[in-house]
C-alpha cells in the first residue's frame, strides 16, 4: 500500500510509536517558530530545561503580534526574546519584518521538513509541502531542546480540486468551501491533503492561504504537493536548492475524500461568528459595510496585494468605509513600493498599517459599535475584533476591495476585469531584519522586564481530585473565550497572574473570583472545547486559578495537548447526555484517578448524589506527563 505525502514525511521523521490511526507517535522536528504573544512563555520554559543551545536545524523567533507599544510591556518582551535568541542559537525576526507565517514561507520553509510553531496557523507551511503544525509553547520548547513532538497518528483526508478558478474567485473561496463542507470540527483527527488537476493552477501563496485556514477545520495540518510551482517559488526567493519534489503514491489510501469543482466555485463569505458559517457573497449583496481590512497571515502576500492594487487603481474607496491594508512582510511592502502598486492603494484612500498581525488578533482597528467589518483574516470569533457587538465577515481580498469601493457587499464577479497578475521571477531579497544568533552565546546577557513573571507550576496528580464545577459552557468554546486577546490584554502574555483577571471574561466575568472563592475547581464543557489558537495561556491561566480538570463532550487537538502539558486532566463524557445533568457549582469528585488514567474514571456529583463515567484513555506518555504534573516536570525527570 502506498503512502500519502504526510505519511512519507512522518515515516522519515518517526522517532517512536507506530503509524496506526490513534496511536501516540513521536516525530523529530527540523524547524520551530514562535511569535511574541506566545514566545516569551516558550522561552521561559526552554530556559527552565537548562539547555544551552537549540538542537533543531533552524529555530526562528518572530515579533509580529504585540507590536503596538502603549507601555513598556511589549518592548520589554521583545528585548527578552531578542537576547534569548542571540544566546541560545535562534534567529530573531525584528518588529516590522512581518508576520511569522508569511516570512517563514518566503525565507525558511523547506519541502519535506517538519515544523512546529507556537501559533495555530503554522500549517501555512503546508503550502510548500512542509509537515507544519501548531503547538503549545511547551511543545516548541521541548522540540528546540531536541525532544520529539508527540501527536496521535492522524487519519488522511484528501481534497480533490477539479478544474480552474474563474477570475475574482480565489483560494480563500476554496478553503471557505471546505469549511462549509466539513465544519470547524470536520478536520479533527485528520491531515488534509490537496490533490487533483486544480492543484497545479494554484501558486504557492494561494496554497498557503488554504493550508493556513486548515487550522479552522481543527485538522492536525494541511499539505500540498511540492512540484514545479513550488520550485519556481523557491527559485524566485533565491532558495531553489531547498526544493524537493513530494507527491503521494498512486496507490495511497485515504480515510475520506471530497471533491471541489473550481470552475463552479463562487465568491464566499464566512458570516458571524464562525469560520464555517458560509454564505455566497451574492446572497449578502447590498448589505452595508463599515470597515474593510486586508492582510493577516491568510491573505497578505504580494499576489494578494497586487490584485487589490489593480482593483483600486484610479478609484476612491467609499467615504463611509474605513479601509486599511497590512502587507505580510517587509519584502511584500518593499516590492509594492518599487512597482508602484503601493501608490495606487494609497491614492485610493486606503490606510497602510505596519507589516504585522495587528487587527487580526485585536491589536487595533476595532470597528465601530455594531459595525460590519469585512476582513481577509482567518477567524471571526465573537469579540475578537475588540468590539463586542461587531459583525465580522471573512472574505477574499477581491471581495474586500469590491466592498471598499461601493460601501456594500458586492460580488467581485461584477467588477471591471483586471489583467492577470503574475508573480515575479525574482523576489527582492533583503534579510537585514533577521538577526542571526551569536556563534557562542555564553557571554550574552538575558534582559528581563518587570512584566515577565514565572509560569505557574503544576503538582503531581493525586488519586482523588475534588472540586466545584466553577464554570459550565457550551459547544465550540474557543481559546479566545478562555483567554481573550486584544490590545488591552496581549501585552501581559508573560504575566500570568495579571492575565488571570480576564480568564473566561466572555463567558462569565465572575470566573476568576469564583476560582478564588472555591479554591479552583473543575470546568464542564460541550463539543470541540478549546478550538482556535494554540495559545497555551488558555491552559496556564486556568492552572494558575486552580483548575484541576476539564470535562467535556470533546476537545480540540492542540488545546487538549496544552492541558496535559500544564498538568490539567482532560476528560470526556462516555455518555454525552451526562453533560446536561451537571450544573454550575455542583460539588464534584474524581476517584481512583491514577489507577484508571488510561481508561475510564468515575466522576461523583456529591451535590446530586450521582455518578458519571468519563473517558480518559491517555497514551502511555501522556499518562506519565499527567502523573508527573505536566510536561516540564516530565521533561526534567527524563
Which sequence positions are flagged as catalytic?
Answer: 64-65, 119, 379, 533, 535
Burial class (CB in 10 A: 0-12, 13-18, 19+), 296: buried
Residues 61, 92: contact at Cβ < 8 Å? yes
Task: Find the farthest-apart pair of alpha carbons in the chain and give their distance in angstroms, rounded.
Answer: 72
Q: How many residues does the chain have?
A: 638
Residue owning grid cell 467609499: 318
Q: For residues 379 and 94, what is the distance between their CA atoms, to the nearest angstrom?
A: 25
Helix (H) or strand (E) holding 43: helix 36-48
Q: For residues 228 and 52, what is the distance between their CA atoms, to the nearest angstrom?
A: 40
Q: Enter the C-alpha cell of residue 101.
A: 507565517
Helix, strand or coil, per DSSP, at residue 370: coil
Burial class (CB in 10 A: 0-12, 13-18, 19+), 595: exposed
Burial class (CB in 10 A: 0-12, 13-18, 19+), 38: buried
Residue owning grid cell 481530585: 465
Q: Enter the C-alpha cell of residue 419.
A: 489583467
Region of 125 (left: φ > 0; alpha: ψ -120 to 50; beta: rest) is: alpha
Count of C-beta atoms within a 10 Å radius of residue 379: 28
Q: Enter the C-alpha cell of residue 229.
A: 510551482
For 256, phi and psi rounded to 5 degrees? Answer: -155, 145
Q: Enter the C-alpha cell of residue 339.
A: 512597482
Q: For residues 286 and 105, what is the distance between their CA atoms, to the nearest angstrom?
A: 37
CB neighbour list of residue 598: distance below 8 Å, 6 or more residues apart: 616, 617, 618, 619, 620, 623
Residue owning grid cell 454525552: 576
Which of 496, 509, 491 is closest to 540 using CA atoms? 496
Q: For residues 40 and 13, what is the distance between their CA atoms, to the nearest angstrom?
A: 28
For 269, phi and psi rounded to 5 degrees? Answer: -145, 140
Q: What is the CA radius of gyration of the chain?
A: 23
DSSP state of 76: H
Q: For residues 600 and 469, what is the distance between their CA atoms, to the nearest angstrom?
A: 20
Residue 14 CB-half CA count within 13 A: 17
DSSP state of 461: P
Q: For residues 492 and 502, what is the distance between their CA atoms, to the nearest angstrom?
A: 11
Residues 363, 353: contact at Cβ < 8 Å? no
Q: For residues 329 and 208, what is the distance between their CA atoms, to the nearest angstrom?
A: 15
Helix (H) or strand (E) holding 179: helix 171-182
CA 632 to chain centre: 23
**Which residues make beta-bridge pairs with 417?**
none
CA 433 to chain centre: 24
CB neighbour list of residue 122: distance below 8 Å, 6 or more residues apart: 33, 101, 115, 116, 132, 133, 134, 135, 221, 534
Amino acid at each position: 500500500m502506498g503512502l500519502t505525502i504526510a505519511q512519507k514525511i512522518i515515516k522519515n521523521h518517526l522517532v517512536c510509536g507506530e503509524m496506526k490511526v490513534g496511536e501516540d507517535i513521536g516525530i523529530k522536528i527540523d524547524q520551530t517558530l514562535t511569535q511574541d504573544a506566545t514566545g516569551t512563555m516558550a522561552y521561559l520554559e526552554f530556559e527552565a530545561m537548562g539547555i544551552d543551545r537549540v538542537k533543531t536545524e533552524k529555530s526562528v523567533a518572530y515579533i509580529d503580534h504585540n507590536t503596538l507599544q502603549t507601555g513598556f510591556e511589549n518592548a520589554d518582551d521583545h528585548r527578552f526574546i531578542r537576547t534569548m535568541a542571540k544566546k541560545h542559537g535562534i534567529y530573531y525576526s525584528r518588529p516590522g519584518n512581518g508576520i511569522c507565517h508569511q516570512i517563514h514561507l518566503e525565507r525558511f520553509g523547506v519541502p519535506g521538513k517538519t515544523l512546529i510553531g507556537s501559533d495555530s496557523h503554522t500549517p501555512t507551511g503546508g503550502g510548500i509541502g512542509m509537515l507544519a503544525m501548531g503547538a503549545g509553547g511547551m511543545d516548541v520548547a521541548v522540540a528546540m531542546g531536541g525532544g520529539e513532538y508527540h501527536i496521535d497518528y492522524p487519519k488522511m483526508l484528501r481534497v480533490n480540486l477539479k478544474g480552474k478558478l474563474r477570475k475574482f474567485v480565489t483560494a480563500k473561496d476554496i478553503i471557505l468551501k471546505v469549511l462549509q463542507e466539513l465544519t470547524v470540527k470536520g478536520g479533527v483527527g485528520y491531515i488534509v491533503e490537496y490533490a487533483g488537476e486544480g492543484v497545479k493552477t494554484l501558486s504557492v501563496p494561494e496554497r498557503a492561504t488554504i493550508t493556513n485556514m486548515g487550522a479552522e477545520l481543527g485538522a492536525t495540518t494541511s499539505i500540498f504537493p511540492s512540484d514545479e510551482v513550488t520550485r519556481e517559488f523557491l527559485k524566485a526567493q533565491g532558495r531553489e536548492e531547498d526544493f524537493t519534489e513530494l507527491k503521494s503514491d498512486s496507490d495511497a489510501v485515504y480515510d475520506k475524500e471530497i471533491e471541489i469543482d473550481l470552475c463552479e466555485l463562487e465568491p464566499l463569505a464566512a458570516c458571524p461568528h464562525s469560520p464555517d458559517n458560509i454564505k455566497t457573497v451574492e446572497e449578502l449583496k447590498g448589505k452595508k459595510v463599515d470597515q474593510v481590512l486586508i492582510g493577516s497571515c491568510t491573505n497578505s502576500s504580494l499576489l494578494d496585494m497586487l490584485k487589490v492594487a489593480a482593483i483600486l487603481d484610479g478609484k476612491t474607496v467609499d467615504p463611509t468605509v474605513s479601509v486599511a491594508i497590512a502587507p505580510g512582510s517587509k519584502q511584500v511592502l518593499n516590492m509594492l513600493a518599487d512597482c508602484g502598486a503601493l501608490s495606487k492603494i494609497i491614492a485610493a484612500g486606503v490606510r497602510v498599517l505596519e507589516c504585522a498581525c495587528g487587527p487580526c488578533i485585536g491589536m487595533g482597528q476595532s470597528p465601530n459599535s455594531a459595525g460590519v467589518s469585512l476582513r481577509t483574516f482567518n477567524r471571526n470569533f465573537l469579540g475578537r475584533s475588540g468590539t463586542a457587538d461587531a459583525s465580522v465577515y471573512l472574505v477574499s481580498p477581491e471581495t474586500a476591495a469590491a466592498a471598499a469601493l461601493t460601501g456594500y457587499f458586492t460580488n467581485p464577479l461584477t467588477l471591471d476585469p483586471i489583467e492577470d497578475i503574475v508573480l515575479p521571477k525574482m523576489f527582492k531579497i533583503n534579510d537585514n531584519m533577521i538577526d542571526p544568533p551569536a556563534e557562542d552565546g555564553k557571554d550574552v546577557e538575558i534582559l528581563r522586564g518587570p512584566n515577565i513573571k514565572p509560569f505557574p507550576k503544576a503538582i503531581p496528580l493525586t488519586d482523588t481530585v475534588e472540586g466545584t464545577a466553577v464554570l459550565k459552557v457550551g459547544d465550540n468554546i474557543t481559546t479566545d473565550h478562555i483567554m481573550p486577546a486584544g490590545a488591552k490584554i496581549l501585552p501581559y502574555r508573560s504575566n500570568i497572574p495579571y492575565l488571570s483577571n480576564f480568564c473566561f471574561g466572555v463567558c462569565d466575568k465572575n470566573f476568576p473570583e469564583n476560582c478564588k472563592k472555591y479554591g479552583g475547581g473543575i470546568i464542564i464543557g460541550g463539543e470541540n472545547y478549546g478550538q482556535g489558537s494554540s495559545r497555551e495561556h488558555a491552559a496556564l491561566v486556568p492552572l494558575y486559578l486552580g483548575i484541576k480538570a476539564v470535562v467535556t463532550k470533546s476537545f480540540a487537538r492542540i488545546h487538549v495537548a496544552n492541558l496535559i502539558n500544564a498538568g490539567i486532566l482532560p476528560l470526556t463524557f462516555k455518555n454525552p447526555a451526562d453533560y446536561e445533568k451537571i450544573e454550575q457549582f455542583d460539588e464534584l469528585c474524581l476517584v481512583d484517578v491514577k489507577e484508571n488514567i488510561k481508561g475510564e474514571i468515575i466522576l461523583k456529583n456529591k451535590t446530586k448524589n450521582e455518578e458519571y463515567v468519563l473517558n480518559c484513555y491517555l497514551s502511555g506518555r501522556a499518562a506519565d506527563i499527567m502523573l508527573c504534573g505536566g510536561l516540564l516536570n516530565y521533561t526534567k525527570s527524563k
